[in-house]
Chain A
Amino acid sequence: MAANPQALYSEEADRQTSMSGKLLSAKNVTLEYRTPERLVRATHDVSFDVYGADRFVLLGPSGCGKSTLLKAVAGFIEPVAGSIEIGGERVRGPGADRIVVFQEFDQLPPWKTVLQNVAFPLRVARKLGRAEARERALHYLDKVGLAKFADAYPHTLSGGMKQRVAIARALAMQPRVLLMDEPFAALDALTRRRMQEELLRLWSDERFTLLFVTHSIEEALIIGNRILLLTPHPGRVRAELNSHQYTQESMGRGEFQQSVARIHRLLFEEEAQ
């Protein structure tokens, strides 16, 4: 049942391909969080498997617990029931093998320049030497097109550039799973489109494993090769779909529109009844 992510780029069809194995699996995960007055169940009995080099999207309306699920994979939240495993090892707390790109622009420490921001986790978590960390940071900054801004401070950058730095930082760490929590939601529509393109281009270069949270059906279809649909209050699995056939060029085409309509129906038909 592994989706074939290679199918997205047809020019690579003749290249040697090999199937990846299961990398991340969530088993019957139930998550709860506390507000001052009550205990809220964010997800109930959610299971899914992410394979290596997947672009796995968690999609659902607000309140479906998709961000909470991502935070649980990152290790910030402990499941009440069920387990999350990476490569057969249970997730216990945050770690540098899963790097998160958050939606908020303040995820970059403002006291570090762009280059220092990317190099810092390499030094503290990967124990790289100064020169080596710098070199790798510059390499990934170049990949996101920000090599020119290496010595700028984050407050001088635009929102899209800050997100690029966060992405470069995450990629430079070469995590086993890259976690993205609505990273483009706070960007304007044009920038968001460009960032989606860039993310796909980076993926085709690097073949990282991506777990991506969004509430936009179009974004899910474009970014993902596989989509987990969640229904709200509490979050439960509604469907798991393939979307490897779509790129940004597919937007507006009939088939793409049908998929959007299908997901819309899956997510909202109960409410309509």
Chain B
Amino acid sequence: MSTPHLIVPPVRPEYEVTPAALAGVEHEAPLPLAKRLADRAWLRKSIIAIVLIAIWEIAARAVDNDLLLPTFSATFVAFVQGIASGELIAKVGISMSVLLRGYALGAALAFVLTSLAVSTRIGRDILSMLTAMFNPLPSIALLPLALLWFGLGTGSLLFVLVHSVLWPLALNTYSGFQAVPSTLRMTGRNYGLTGMRHVMLILVPAAMPSILAGLRVGWAFAWRTLIAAELVFGASSGKGGLGWYIFQNRNELYTDRVFAGLAAVIVIGLAVEHLVFDTVERVTVRRWGVQQ
């Protein structure tokens, strides 16, 4: 449809309006209770846990064999007994003390390696070579060697723990350092920061999301390695940890106690994940808005 003449909109008068105060209209209203509850992560996770426990209980009752699969209630009783007698707590204490020492040592070494890597080219080559060589090597495979070098005892455990924490943490931290925006690096150098001060004051906080991810992965690796190592060479001088507790009770066919030992590993894992790492995340990277 073609029109012979150009269509022009009419010129309308200008006008001004002052918005009147709204009566009875709420700008903000609180969410309904159900929605607020559904927003609580702990509530959702608790429900998942209850469902899993229910499945376990039903399956165990169907199998009906305490040696193969004890029920949740039997495991719970064994767990409470272990705690009440102090045996489980002592075992956890032994494992935790070794674990924390190995973890701290591994984290410190990873920090030294990555600081070197980020400040010198040769340090970078060293880090990439070493991680490529040792990261694929399972810690347990090093255990026989560690036993030869350090004997039966804490030394060997620390050695394999450091090995399991160091490489994943170093890789994560280094990739975090590399991802720091160049503007932020230049800002730091603009303040006259160099060397270690630049790493500590600019790079570490800026790479915090990656470092925290590395610490989480390292923590899980350390647990696995420790329990496995304790299973392999058991107690040294009568001081076994959680792995030894599991191994011993399996030999004596106390399957409910084996499950209680495993449950202890899971409970500690969940506690550290939610109480330690989530808290650290909340007061750092989430607060800074660098991670959702």
- Interface residue ranges, A against B (CB under 8 Å): 74, 76, 94-96, 98-100, 102, 104, 106-107, 109-111, 120-121, 124-125, 153-156
How far is the CB of B185 from the nearest CB of chain A, in Å?
Answer: 10
Cα separation A121 to B287 with both chains bound (whole Å): 21
Taking CB atoms and an 8 Å cut-off, the chain B residues in 194-240 that contact chain A are: 197, 201-202, 205-206, 208
Q: Which residues of A contact B191 (CB under 8 A)?
A: 96, 120-121, 124-125
Q: Mark B256-292, 1 if CB is under 8 A from A, else 0.
A: 0000000000000000000000000000100111100
Residues A153 and B287 in contact in the complex (CB < 8 Å), given A100-B190, A121-B191, A124-B192: yes
Name B284's contact: one of A95, A109, A111 (CB within 8 Å): A111
A-B residue pairs in contact (CB < 8 Å), sample of 21: A94-B190, A94-B192, A95-B190, A95-B192, A98-B190, A100-B186, A100-B187, A106-B183, A106-B184, A107-B187, A109-B205, A110-B289, A111-B284, A120-B191, A121-B190, A121-B191, A124-B193, A124-B201, A153-B287, A154-B289, A155-B288
Name B184's contact: one of A107, A120, A156 (CB within 8 Å): A107
Q: Which residues of B contact A107 (CB under 8 A)?
A: 183-184, 186-187
Q: Which residues of B contact A156 (CB under 8 A)?
A: 289
Cα separation A165 to B187 with both chains bound (whole Å): 13
Cα separation A104 to B287 with both chains bound (whole Å): 21
Q: Which residues of B contact A98 (CB under 8 A)?
A: 190
The residue on B at minimum CB distance from A124 is: B191
Would you call B190 and A99 a contact (CB within 8 A)? yes
The residue on B at minimum CB distance from A98 is: B190
How far is the CB of B160 from the nearest CB of chain A, in Å?
Answer: 34
Cα separation A94 to B206 with both chains bound (whole Å): 20
Q: Which residues of A contact B287 (CB under 8 A)?
A: 153
How far is the CB of A72 from the nearest CB of chain B, in Å?
Answer: 13
Would you call B181 and A104 a contact (CB within 8 A)? yes
Cα separation A110 to B207 with both chains bound (whole Å): 11
Residues A106 and B181 in contact in the complex (CB < 8 Å), given A76-B189, A94-B189, A111-B206: yes
User: Taking chain B's interface residues, is the majority helix, strand, or loop, or is none over half, making it mixed?
Assistant: helix
Cα separation A95 to B186 with both chains bound (whole Å): 10
The residue on B at minimum CB distance from A121 is: B191
Q: Mark B155-188, 1 if CB is under 8 A from A, else 0.
A: 0000000000000000000000000010110110
Would you call A153 and B181 a contact (CB within 8 A)? no
Would you call B187 and A109 a contact (CB within 8 A)? yes
The residue on A at minimum CB distance from B206 is: A109
How far is the CB of B202 from the nearest CB of chain A, in Å?
Answer: 7
Cα separation A103 to B187 with both chains bound (whole Å): 12
Cα separation A96 to B186 with both chains bound (whole Å): 11
Cα separation A155 to B284 with both chains bound (whole Å): 13
Would you call A153 and B187 a contact (CB within 8 A)? no
Q: Which residues of A contact B208 (CB under 8 A)?
A: 111
How far is the CB of A128 from the nearest CB of chain B, in Å?
Answer: 13
Name A102's contact: one of B187, B192, B289 (CB within 8 Å): B187
Q: Which residues of A contact B192 (CB under 8 A)?
A: 94-96, 124-125
How far is the CB of B163 from the nearest CB of chain A, in Å?
Answer: 31
How far is the CB of A65 from the nearest CB of chain B, in Å?
Answer: 17
How far is the CB of A185 from the nearest CB of chain B, in Å?
Answer: 14
Cα separation A54 to B284 with both chains bound (whole Å): 41
Name A94's contact: one of B186, B205, B288, B289 (CB within 8 Å): B186
Q: Which residues of B contact A155 (CB under 8 A)?
A: 288-290
Q: Which residues of A contact B197 (CB under 8 A)?
A: 124
The residue on A at minimum CB distance from B197 is: A124
How far is the CB of A42 from the nearest CB of chain B, in Å?
Answer: 17
Cα separation A96 to B192 with both chains bound (whole Å): 6
Cα separation A95 to B183 with both chains bound (whole Å): 15
Name B186's contact: one of A102, A120, A154 (CB within 8 Å): A102
Would you call B190 and A110 a contact (CB within 8 A)? no
Cα separation A107 to B284 with both chains bound (whole Å): 18
How far is the CB of A121 from the nearest CB of chain B, in Å?
Answer: 4
Q: Which residues of B contact A121 (CB under 8 A)?
A: 190-191
Q: Which residues of A contact B181 (CB under 8 A)?
A: 104, 106
Q: Which residues of A contact B202 (CB under 8 A)?
A: 109
Residue of A99, A109, A125, A156 ringed by the most chain B CB atoms within 10 A: A109
How far is the CB of A33 from the nearest CB of chain B, in Å?
Answer: 13
How far is the CB of B196 from the nearest CB of chain A, in Å?
Answer: 13
